[in-house]
A and B are shown apart, each in its own frame.
Chain A
Amino acid sequence: MGTAVIADRLQFAFTIMFHYLFPIGTMGLAPFIAWFNIKAYRGRDPEAASAARFWTKVFAVNFAAGVVTGIPMEFQFGMNWAPFAARSGAVIGQPLVMEGVYAFFLESIFLGVLLYGRRQVSERIYVLSSVLVCLGSWLSGFFIVATDAWMQHPVGYAVAAGGRIELRSLAAVLLSPFAWWQYAHVLTGALVAGGFIVAGVGSYYLLAHRDESFGRRFVRAGTMVAFVFSAIAIFPTGDLNGADVTRYQPVKLAAMEGLFASQRGAPLAILGMPDTARETLIDPVFVPDALSFLAYGNVAANVKGLSSYARTLWPPVALTYYAYHVMVGLGTIFVSLAALALLWLLRRKLFGARWLLWMLMLAMPFPYVANEAGWVTTEVGRQPWIAYGLMKTADAASQNVAAGETIFTLIGFAGMYFAIGVLFLLLTLREIGAGPAEAPL
C-alpha cells in the first residue's frame, strides 16, 4: 500500500475519530434534556427546568465542536477518496444527503430555538424543540451508520458498465438489517456514555458537597440509563451485530477473536497477544468452546480461522483484536459498575457511598474509549476493503492528491483539533463548575 493511501487513511481515521467524540455527547445527552424539559413542563418542576438548561449548555458546546469537526467529513470522500466517491456516490451519497436534509437541519434549527428562543416561543414549543433536537441527533446518527453499513455489507446496488456502482433500491440500503443492528449498537453506546456523564457530573456535585439536590437527581437518572443501556449494548445489540459480522465478514470475526486455525469448539480468548508471524496467540486465557457458542449458538460449531483465508484478505490483525477486546472489556466493567450503583441506589445508600461516587465520576472518560474502540474494530476490521467485496481501499485513494499534501493538511487538522479539544474541555468544565443552580440561557 502506497504512502498516499496510508496518509489518506490516517487523515480520515484521525478526523473521524476526533469528530465522533462529540456526537457521542450529543446523542447521549439529548434525551436527558428532552426528559428534564418534559418533567419541568408536566410537573411544574423548576429544578428540572434548571437541569434541562444546564445540560442544554453542555450539549451546545458539544454540538458546536461536533459541527465544526463534522464539516470536513462531508467533503473528505471527494477530497481524499475521489475514485471511490466517483464510483459509489450514487449509493453512499444518498444517505449522506438525507443526513443533511432530514436530520442536521432539524437539530440545528431547533437548537437555535433552545438556545435563543426561551423567551420568544411558548413553553410547549420549547419542550417540543428539545424533543426535535434529540430526534435530529439520533436520525443523524442513523444516516451516517447506514452509509457505513453499506460499506461493510453492500446491498441494494448493481454494478454498471465501467464499474460504476448504481443505486437499485434505496429501501434496501436504509432497511439493511446490518445497518439497523449496527445503529442500535452505536446509539446504545452513546446512551451508555450519556448515562455515565450525567451520573459522573452528579457524583462530582455530591462529592464536592454542592448543588446536592441536582447531584442526586443526576446520579439517579444517569445510573439507571447507564445500567439499562450497558446491558443492551451486550445483548441484544452487540450480540446481533456480532452475528452479522460472523455471517458476512468471517475474516473480521477471526481477527477480532485472534483465531488463527479453524476449529470445532473454538475457544474464546479473553486475554492474549496475537502473533501474526507465527499465527498464534501469546499467553492466552481461553474459555473453551465459547466462541463457537457465541458465533453459532452451538458449542461444537466449526469457526473458520484466519489461516483459511489468503493473507491479502486479512485486516490488520493486532489492531482489530486489541480494539475489540478493549471495547468488550470496558463494556463488561460498565455493566458491573452500573449494576453495583443501581443496587446501592435501590438500597438508598448510593448518595452516601463516597467510594462508589468516586468510581462513577472517574468512569466518565471510559465510555468514550469503548465507543472509539468499537469503531476501530469495525473499520480496521473491514480492511483491505473500502466497500466489502466490491472495492479495495488501495484503489480508492485520490490519484491527484500527493501524500505530502495530505500529510500537510493532516498536521494542520491535528493542530486545529488540539486547540478545539483544549477549548472544549475548558468550556465544559467551566459549565460544570458554574453548576446547574441558576443556569441562565
Chain B
Amino acid sequence: MNAAGFALLALMIGAYVLLDGYDLGVAAIAPLTTRTPAERAAAMSAIGPFWNGNEVWLIAAGGALFALFPKAYASAFSGFYLPFVAVLWLLMFRGLALELRNHFKNELWHTFWDSAFFASSAALIVLFGVALGNLLRGVPLDRRGYFSGTFAFLLNPYAVGVGIFALFALAQHGLTFLTLRVDGPPARRARRVQSIVWWFVLLAYLLVTVATFVLRAGSVHHAAWLAFLPLPSLLALGAVRFFAARGEERGAFVASAAFLASLLLAAAGTMFPYLLPAYPARAGGLSIYDAAPSPSALATTLTVTIVGLCAVVAYTIFTAGRMAGKIRAPE
C-alpha cells in the first residue's frame, strides 16, 4: 500500500512535469523564439487556456504528499523553508505575469510582464531541477528526520547540473509544444532552435546519467532494471530528433514527453523507497514506511484520489481536444 502511494505520488508529479513542463519551457525559451510583442502574444495564447490546469497538478500532488506521507511533507517543507518560499514567490509572480499582461495595450507593460514571465519560468525550472538533484543525492537529516544542512549544501555541483539539464530538457519540451500549437515565424525559429538545443539535451543527459550512476552506485541495489533505463531514454530522445526533422510535430511532442517520463521513472526508481533520502546514502533517509498512515487510511486516500483523477484526465482530454488548433502568429 505504501509503495502504491509512492507510485501515485510519482505519477502526479510526472503529470505535473509533462504538462506544466511544456508551458514553463515555452516561456523559458521564448526570448529565442519570439521577437515582436505580437509573436510573444501568440506564444502566450498557445499556453493561455492550459497553464492553470497544468499547475493544479502541483497543488494536487502537494495535497497527496500531505495526506499519504505527512511526515515527509512536514519535514521537506519546513526543512527547505526559504528555498521553498522562493519557489512560491516565483510561481505567484509567473501567474501574475501571465494573467496581467493582456489587460493593457501598452508596449512597455507587455515587455515588462513578458520578461518577468520568461525569467520566473526559467528560474523555476532550474530550482525544480536543483531540488530533484538534491533528492537524488540525498540531504543531511537529523534524528527526527528534519533537514539539518545549510543552504550552501543544496547548491552542490551535481544538483546544479541537474538544474541546468532540466532547463535544456524542458526548453526542448516547450519547443516541441510551440511548433505544435503556433504557426508563422515563432514556429520556424523554434524548429531551428530545437535542432541545436537537442545536442545540449543529449550532452547534459549523458553527463547527469553518468554522475548519478557514480553517486548512487553503492546504494541502489534493489532495482537492476534501472541500469537499462537509459536505453528507452535514448530511444525517446532519438525519436524527438527523428520526428522533428520530418516535421511531425505531434510525434516530436509525444517523444519529448516520453523522454521526460523515462527520466522521472529513473529518478523515482533511484529514490525508492525513500521520499527524502539521506546524505550520505548509507544513512538511509525518510522512507515511505516512516510514520505513514495506517493501510486503511492509505487505501482511502488512494481510492478517492485515483477516482477523481480519472475524471480529471477525461475532461482534460475532452477540453484540450476542442481547444486544439493552431494559432497564427503574424508574419
Measuring CB to CB, which residues of chain A are less than 8 angstroms from any residue of chain B?
60-61, 64, 67-72, 74-75, 77-83, 85-90, 92-94, 96-102, 104-106, 108-113, 115-117, 120-121, 125, 160, 162, 164, 166-167, 170, 398-401, 405, 409, 412, 416, 420, 423, 427, 430
27 A-B contact pairs sorted by A residue (CB < 8 Å): A61-B99, A67-B95, A71-B59, A74-B59, A74-B62, A75-B62, A75-B77, A78-B66, A78-B77, A79-B77, A82-B75, A90-B297, A93-B63, A99-B63, A100-B62, A101-B308, A109-B316, A110-B315, A117-B49, A117-B319, A162-B291, A167-B294, A167-B301, A400-B78, A400-B147, A412-B89, A430-B103
| A416–B63 touching, CB < 8 Å | no
Q: Point out the residues of chain A lying under 8 angstroms from B289, CB to CB.
A: none
Q: Please provide the 7 A-B residue pairs with the shortest distance between their CB atoms, ordered closest to farther.
A: A89-B70, A93-B67, A78-B77, A100-B60, A97-B63, A93-B66, A90-B293
Q: Point out the residues of chain A lying under 8 angstroms from B81, CB to CB.
A: 79, 398, 400-401, 405, 409
Q: How many A-B residue pairs have CB under 8 A?
A: 218
| B63–A100 touching, CB < 8 Å | yes
Interface segment among B50-58, B128-136, B206-214, B220-228: the answer is: B50-58
Q: Point out the residues of chain B lying under 8 angstroms from A88, CB to CB.
A: 70
Q: Point out the residues of chain B lying under 8 angstroms from A416, CB to CB.
A: 89, 92
Q: Point out the residues of chain A lying under 8 angstroms from B64, CB to CB.
A: 93, 97, 100
| A79 to B81 CA separation, bound complex (whole angstroms) | 6
Does B108 reach chain A (CB closer than 8 Å)?
Answer: no
A97-B66, A112-B53, A401-B78 known; A412 vs B85 contact (CB < 8 Å) = yes
Q: A75-B77, A79-B81 are in contact. List 13 more A-B contacts (CB 8 A).
A: A68-B91, A71-B91, A78-B73, A78-B77, A82-B74, A82-B77, A89-B69, A94-B67, A109-B316, A113-B49, A160-B294, A167-B296, A398-B74
Q: Point out the residues of chain B lying under 8 angstroms from A69, CB to CB.
A: 92
Give the nearest-CB partner of A166 in chain B: B294
Does B200 reach chain A (CB closer than 8 Å)?
Answer: no
Q: Point out the residues of chain A lying under 8 angstroms from B319, CB to CB.
A: 109-110, 112-113, 117, 121
| B312–A105 touching, CB < 8 Å | yes
Majority-rule SS of B interface residues: helix
| B77–A86 touching, CB < 8 Å | no
Kindly supply a per-residue 1/0 record for chain B positions 276-320, scoring 1 wherever the CB is within 8 Å of any chain A CB and 0 otherwise. Answer: 000000000000000101101100110011001100100110010
| B323–A120 touching, CB < 8 Å | yes
Interface size class of B (residues with CB under 8 A): 35 or more
| A60 to B100 CA separation, bound complex (whole angstroms) | 11
| A86 to B323 CA separation, bound complex (whole angstroms) | 41
Give the nearest-CB partner of B325 in chain A: A120
Measuring CB to CB, which residues of chain B are less than 8 angstroms from any residue of chain A?
45, 48-50, 52-53, 55-56, 59-60, 62-71, 73-79, 81-82, 84-85, 88-89, 91-92, 95-96, 99-100, 103, 146-147, 291, 293-294, 296-297, 300-301, 304-305, 308-309, 312, 315-316, 319, 322-323, 325
| A112–B323 touching, CB < 8 Å | yes
Give the nearest-CB partner of A167 in chain B: B297
For A75, give its contact among B71, B82, B88, B300 (CB under 8 Å): B88
Q: Point out the residues of chain A lying under 8 angstroms from B325, CB to CB.
A: 120
Q: Point out the residues of chain A lying under 8 angstroms from B65, CB to CB.
A: 93
For B63, give its contact among A74, A110, A166, A167 (CB under 8 Å): A74
| A164 to B278 CA separation, bound complex (whole angstroms) | 23
Residue in A92, A112, A121, A412 whose Cβ sees the most chain B Cβ within 10 Å: A112
| B70–A104 touching, CB < 8 Å | no
| A104–B59 touching, CB < 8 Å | yes
Q: Point out the residues of chain A lying under 8 angstroms from B308, CB to CB.
A: 98, 101-102
